Amino acid sequence: MAADCHTPASGASQREEARRFLDDYDPLGDDSALEKQNSAAPNARSDSRTTPIPKAQLATLCAVRLVDPIAFTQIFPYVNEMMERLHLTEDHSKIGFYSGLVESSFAIAQVVSIYQWARVSDTIGRRPVVLLGIFGIGLATLFMGVSTTLSGVILARCLGGLFSGNIAVIHSVLGEITDSTNQSIAFPLYGLCWPLGAIIGNVYRSPLMGGLLSNPATKFPQWFDTELFRRYPYLLPCLAAAAIAFAGCTYGYFYLGETHPNLQPRKKENIPMSERRDGSFEKPSEPASVQQLLKIPVVRALCLSGAGLSFIATGFDVTFVLFCYTSLPQGGLAFNATQIGYALSISGLISILLQLLVMPIVLRRVDHARMYNFCMGLWPFCFVLLPGLNIIARWGALDEAVGVLAPTTRALVWLGIGVILSISRTAALAFSVSMILVKDSAPNPASLGVTNGIAQFAMCLSRSFSPAFASSVLAFSIGHDFVLLRYLWVLVMTTICFLGTTLSRRIAEGMRQSAIPPR
């Protein structure tokens, strides 16, 4: 992470600055830093009334947010098949290692750029950073479609990750256009973007569209049997994903406004002034440094717990795909890419239902820190229950070598998949809750971008090596007959999940130390 450019000259002055910063951080009520600035306005609304949501801004934000999950997940259903096409190894069980390497490269590149994007947005504004990132993702996705080597695929994923590092800036925009009276509506709607984008990304290989966009030269020779699509079998889905990115960039150019509180176009005489406790006035505050933010207990807790959440959630997604792809004798389900895409689309649909029907109610009635802890406590069950699917499948397999199941067994397997994915998507609601907790923990409006930046940095850092770690542990486990080694991946990932629940409890403790009232 880049060092802050406003470091004090001496240790004493640095400690004094940090002390004054933490003193100023003490909340003046139940509102977050952003809401305190809004409440200082003469015409501020009463807390008993719901602030109208800026619908155009929110719709635009959701449109550009769709691009990241499409770019990140569209490779998941066919990444194992792609690695086989590259002829990287003759050992089928080692495919997972290369798949994890490709999947991790996106997040590694995102880690490198995420904090820098947040700092740049504090200087030039949120709008240009968001638009540049979306346009870059489109270009990287196009490059992905014409890559025929492992190095080319990894480079394309890295470029996509670099440009998608603006995710913290997008979260900041959401925090700047909402407050505590309307966030129970806005955040679930925004939360729909990831599962919806994942469905769109995975639909390229799922029965929902009959696998229309992958391998078009083979499936639709009358239209796509050309040298271009025979050589690049995944170009068409990448073209579709890039078109969505460019469309989102165009839409954002016309409808996304600048939201940074210090960069709003105002007349000189209307520059907002914030009142201090002693009755004096000062100009809007400057963004806090990383060192200052990490001195706040709740910010530290959110970074640590967010890293754990991202590692576990990404690890489950990768493990689930590889588990489904693994043959029955080796402990998996022997699914093809189409069946995997179908399962991932079901996962996205479950997420949409939870965001629409459950999240608005829960956010209004349940303390956010407690809800976050509950979601984190569900992750161990996701990994523990997965091997049961293999047991059911092998029990009713008509041909275990190729994975042909009896109709009743197939129904039971898909029912079990639905249950496990429902648990995992409920646990993943912690991401939406985390965005609200980060927003509430920002010490002042100008620091929201940096606060989101370091929180997302921690998440993306763990997500960068989670796929490689999870897929490597699973690939190692399935090569053994000894039961403890065969299910080593379950033991390792479950243990990490329990450690994650321990980290999540620090958020409530940090809120008490920072004097942030529970919500």
Put simply, whether the predicted model's pTM sits higher than 0.85 gets the answer: no
List phi, psi (to 5°) of 214. Answer: -100, 145
DSSP letter assigned to residue 396: T
**The pair of three-digit structure tokens given for residue 99, joined into one six-digit string:** 């798949």
Residues pairing with 397 in the sheet: 405
Contact between residue 334 and residue 322 where contact means Cβ atoms under 8 Å apart:
no
Contact between residue 463 and residue 318 where contact means Cβ atoms under 8 Å apart:
no
Contact between residue 242 and residue 138 where contact means Cβ atoms under 8 Å apart:
yes
pLDDT value at residue 419: 96
Interacting residues of 217 by C-beta distance below 8 A, sequence separation 6+:
224, 225, 226, 229, 230, 233
**The pair of three-digit structure tokens given for residue 169, joined into one six-digit string:** 């800036």
- Reported as a single tens digit per residue, the pLDDT across 126-158 is 999 999 999 999 999 899 888 888 899 999 999
- Reported as a single tens digit per residue, the pLDDT across 398-438 is 877 777 888 899 999 999 999 999 999 999 999 999 999 99
The amino acid sitting at 388 is G
Q: Summarize the chain as % helix, strand, coil (round to 5).
A: 70, 0, 25
**Residue 131: C-alpha distances to residues 49, 120, 250, 256, 384 (Å):** 33, 13, 8, 9, 41
- Reported as a single tens digit per residue, the pLDDT across 284-334 is 567 778 888 888 888 999 999 999 999 999 999 989 988 998 888 888 898
Cα 164 from Cα 247, distance rounded (Å):
16
DSSP letter assigned to residue 446: G
SS3 274: strand
Contact between residue 133 and residue 165 where contact means Cβ atoms under 8 Å apart:
yes
